[in-house]
Amino acid sequence: MTTPVTFEFLPTELDQVATHTGQVVCFVEASGKLDQSSRRVNRLSKGALERFAESEAFAEMSESQARELAYPAGMDATGVIVVKLARKPEAGDARKAGVSIGKLKNDSPLLVLAGNIGRAAEICEGIALRVYSYTEMKSEDPKETGNVILMASKPEEVAAAAAAPLAVAEGVFFTRDLTNAPANHLTTTNFAEQLAAMTSLGLEVEVLEEPQLEELGMRTLLSVGQGSSAPSKVVVMSWKGGGDEAPFALVGKGVVFDTGGLSLKPAGGMEDMTMDMGGAGVVSGVMRALALRKAKANVVGLVGLVENMPGPDATRPGDVVTSMKGDTVEIINTDAEGRLVLADVLWYAQERFKPVGMINLATLTGAIIIGLGHEMAGVFSNSDDLSDKFLKAAKDEDEGAWRMPLSPAYDKQLKSAVADMKNVGGRPAGSITAGQFLQRFVLDEMPWAHLDIAGVASVKSDTSYAPKGATGWGVRALNRMIADNYEG
């Protein structure tokens, strides 16, 4: 997988500033005040930093923005990256400052003169999140990212504080790699193998194959993969870092490629359907992050891995399938397949693990993109408490999320003349009726939330924390929610 840039934490040695041959980063407050490290850079560069801090260009920069001064006189550095940041920044501002640095970072070593600046760990997190490129399918050797040397007055404290965020960044990268991977490489079998390899991190991983899924009665899930030669699977990942309490459950939709089945999608844009396993990718990234940072919580992650293809055995519109729960579903549209995968895995998660709460993630509906665009994921929940916990975590991590309604009033759209329900409710309120469908497979007493991430899992332009492509949205927010609410 793509590995985050490496960090080295050292005490401040200003004599090394002049001879560093890569890029040098210094921080300047909005007032233009220079700290000790910045004053050294200013002296070496014959006052260039001070002149820039007094310029209109600096005044017009927003908090956390950065600008590079190329090839400064009096220094061996290729450039000085000047970051506008308060000495005691908010966590979000510090993280965004790191992102600004990451955007400007080239493939040479980066020297960050953090000094006594607050939130240096969040600056590291921002750098790590932004320095990402998916090169797995490129024939040429990938460019070196260059390490990061961070000099601070208390480097041991910064290193300790940065350990968990950098572990989470690795989880984000895992999610991005999975979501970016083409479907002929990330098959259901390859996906399961990558998850099984995480036993080396201390996770317990179990792969349920089709005969076991048949025996369990996961017929709605299996119906999605009937047209494909790729075997359908469910992978269960358990992290047992807490006590004897029941785990929190994360459930992900893992459609490794979605043609729409016999309800075939248009050709234009179908290549993007490699990302339809984004929900499973997020669950996998969260589980990796929890294991890497040794979270003191019990969490189980379950992903349903299928491929939705047309074929002689493919599910037909009009077929009726019986779920693991026992409810019958009339398949009106085979392109509304993600909810069929989730229905069985949600029910299985509750029956087997009896979790304290449950969140599922899926690139479920185009309707959520119409409603929220690519800035926010849709949050549907039967629990104000769980919804509030997640929304707070998402806000703290600057991952856009917005609560959407659920109501029995929408159930009439799912009524079927021949079965207990239809799998679609028509165009009106399409993302809501999808949530209503999923809620039928959630016990009344189970705190549950459904995150529709169709608009945020993979995007066509840069986001705040990632280059275009897979974003890894949700890994940081879910990790934060677990850390804040479910760790002993």
Backbone angles phi, psi at 449, to 5 degrees: -140, 145
Per-residue model confidence as pLDDT tens digits over 205-236:
999 999 999 999 999 999 999 999 999 999 99
Token couple for 208: 């349920």
* From 95, 219, 293, 339, active-site residue: 339
Over residues 88-104, the mean pLDDT reads 97
Residue 384: pLDDT band (50, 70, 90) is: very high
**pLDDT for 145:** 81
- Distance (Å, rounded) from C-alpha 13 to C-alpha 291? 35
Token couple for 102: 């990451």
Q: What would you measure as the largest C-alpha separation in the chain, in angstroms? A: 81
Token couple for 382: 């039967």
Per-residue model confidence as pLDDT tens digits over 451-472:
999 999 999 999 989 999 999 9
Over residues 409-431, the mean pLDDT reads 98
Residue 144: pLDDT band (50, 70, 90) is: confident
Instruction: Considering only residues 276 and 139, tell me which one the structure prediction assigns the higher pLDDT.
Output: 276
**pLDDT for 141:** 79
Side-chain-side CA neighbours of 118 within 13 Å: the count stands at 10
- The question of whether 219 is a catalytic residue gets the answer no
- What are the counts of helices (DSSP H) followed by strands (DSSP E) for the chain? 15, 19
Cβ atoms of residues 233 and 194 within 8 Å = no
Closest residue by Cα to residue 184 from 274, 279, 252: 274
Q: List domains and CATH numbers for the chain.
A: 7-158 (3.40.220.10), 186-485 (3.40.630.10)
- Distance (Å, rounded) from C-alpha 182 to C-alpha 444? 38
* From 39, 43, 67, 265, active-site residue: 265
Rounded mean pLDDT of the chain? 97
Instruction: Considering only residues 488 and 48, tell me which one the structure prediction assigns the higher pLDDT.
Output: 48
Per-residue model confidence as pLDDT tens digits over 176-190:
999 999 999 999 999
C-alpha dist (Å) from residue 405 to 279, 429, 431, 450: 20, 10, 10, 11
Cβ atoms of residues 107 and 145 within 8 Å = yes
Residue 488: pLDDT band (50, 70, 90) is: confident
**pLDDT for 140:** 86
Bridge partner residues of 305 (DSSP):
233, 254
Place of tokens 């509906």: 365
- The question of whether 339 is a catalytic residue gets the answer yes
What is the identity of the amino acid at 140? E
